[in-house]
Amino acid sequence: MPLIKNPNNPLNRPIALSNLFWIVLALFLVAGNIFFYIRYNSLQDELRRTQAVVETQKLNDKVLEFTKLFIKDVLEAETEVDFETRLKIENAVRNLDDEEVLAQWQKFVGSETEIEAQDNVKSLLETLVNKIKLP
């Protein structure tokens, strides 16, 4: 049984060259959108990773700056630490915005004996070192 072609059926008509152009253009635009969507997502992921590294570096810088200040102005001090230095160090430890470091700092400041102060210094320095993260 032969197939009867209906000339009015749009699927049986030959595709005009201009229609082919629009179909190819539409497919090209869809492919472009898919490409740019994938690229956008990969750049978003890269941005998130970069921001995390920057935040880690900022925290590391603050911890190292406080540690240097603490070692220089407290541990290497030849005399009693003056009020301005204590205030500077207190502000630096609060600037870290870390409860664990602040608690260790307050233990150190509240030490009543030299032995207790030495133990608290060790704990403070250990806490500071543990706060430093490698990227």
pLDDT at 18 over 80: no
Q: What is the pLDDT of residues 68-126, one digit of tens each?
A: 999 999 888 888 888 898 899 999 999 998 999 999 999 998 989 989 989 999 999 99
pLDDT at 1 over 50: no
In the structure, what pLDDT confidence band is assigned to residue 21 with cuts at 50, 70 and 90? confident
Where would I find the beta strands (DSSP E) of 1-135?
none
Determine the Cα–Cα distance for residues 114 and 63; give it in Å rounded to an integer: 25
Determine the Cα–Cα distance for residues 35 and 29; give it in Å rounded to an integer: 10
With 0.85 as the threshold, say if the pTM is over it.
no
